[in-house]
Structure 1
Amino acid sequence: MYSHMMVGSNDMDRSKKFYDNLFKSVGGREAMVDPKGRLVYVHNDGIFMVTPPIDGAEATCGNGMTIGFAMESPDQADAWHKAGLEAGGTAIEDPPGVRENPGMNLYLAYLRDPDGNKLCALHRMD
């Protein structure tokens, strides 16, 4: 259903440091930079991009929006979370851990990127 996800940034160098660390922590690569200066990450058949707003206005985060990244294990989610904190992210919500839901338990770790976008590492438990 989804083709890609894109967030805005007011500081592309800061965002590159943050997202490079996040993706490298789970086996991805550093960003490719396209001709418009956008950061492009391709990992596990997904595309994630960071851009300065095309309209020239300030980038803002979406209230109520969360971008979820699939993780292979709780350990990978923890490594992702740690990498994000070390690169300028902010821990939010409950600490990383299992959330029990009817019919499915999830391991979740939440961060805000340096521009305030809400991110989640998600591993579906067996």
Structure 2
Amino acid sequence: MPDTFDSKQYSWSDVSISLGGRIVTGVTSVEYSRKQEKSILRGRGSKGHKIVRGNEDFEGKITIWQSEFEAMTRDAPGKNHLRLEFDLTIAYVPEDGGQTVTDTCKTCEFTEGKKTFNQGDGNMLVELPFIFLDLIPQS
């Protein structure tokens, strides 16, 4: 392991997001997580003996412009965004030539779609929670 490591901080302008193979311009936020069920294995005594692992789950949320959502829905099976299946790729590509990092959320499906529009808004944003089957980090 090297003595030092690059602790470059990425900014929003360094991020490119591809949904189903298409770069999406109208993304305003993205989040994704991997979690695993864990519990303490107990036996003799009052302290645990081991941490045991269970199922892994993957979920996320993307917020996009309404125009992007409507285009996606138009091309979805049955015009229903909940029937889309896609890979979501998030690439962190710093302009200064630092390390490029690409995470891929494999086999995603939206679980809902929430349209929200408030007085004074210049455009509508649509929040789309999703689940997926695997996270391929730093590919």
TM-score normalised by the chain length of structure 2: 0.26
Greater share of helix residues, 1 or 2? 1
TM-score normalised by the chain length of structure 1: 0.27
Greater share of strand residues, 1 or 2? 2
Larger of the two Rg values belongs to structure: 2
